[in-house]
Amino acid sequence: MTSSRPYLIRAIHDWIGDNDLTPYILVNAESPDAVLPLQFVENGKIVLNISATAISGLHIDNDWLLFSARFNGQAMDISIPITAILAIYAKENGQGMVLDRDEEGDETPPPGPPGSTSGSKAGTRAAKKPHLQLVK
């Protein structure tokens, strides 16, 4: 069977939004394939606001969570392997889900994010990041 992790992330994200709360994710920033704003990493983890008012172009598929955001005024395309997401919860009340770490141990690293031709090698992905575009 496929991993339930991306389905749970999408469902909890929708549930938090339906209740007019702010979805946050806790990410393992030490994941070699993650493209993150490293200046905000603490103890190997980072918390990111993934609400529609904070980011643009959110895409959650079975292998990647992708979006664009601004950090200290600089635009950045964020790419997070689904296996690097440790929890998703509402900022206002902490309700959400800590994701099972046992499930990620059996998976091979995902291929590069959609649109990437470099595979999952961190060294080559850093040179060619995915391009996300806001469509209105």
Domain CATH for 72: 2.30.30.220
Asked whether residue 89 is domain-assigned, the answer is yes
Model pLDDT for residues 57-92, shown as the tens digit of each residue: 999 999 999 999 999 999 999 999 999 999 999 999
Asked whether residue 136 is domain-assigned, the answer is no
Q: State how beta strands 85-90 and 74-81 pair.
A: unpaired
Asked whether residue 122 is domain-assigned, the answer is yes
CA distance 105 to 57: 29
**The total number of structural domains that make up the chain:** 1
Q: 105: Cβ–Cβ under 8 A, 6 or more apart, which residues?
A: none
Asked whether residue 135 is domain-assigned, the answer is no
Model pLDDT for residues 91-115, shown as the tens digit of each residue: 999 999 999 875 544 445 556 666 6
Name the pTM for this structure: 0.75
Asked whether residue 133 is domain-assigned, the answer is no
Cα–Cα–Cα angle for 13, 135, 88, nearest 5°? Answer: 15
102 lies in which domain range? 5-127
Asked whether residue 132 is domain-assigned, the answer is no
Look at 102 and 34; give whichever has higher pLDDT.
Answer: 34
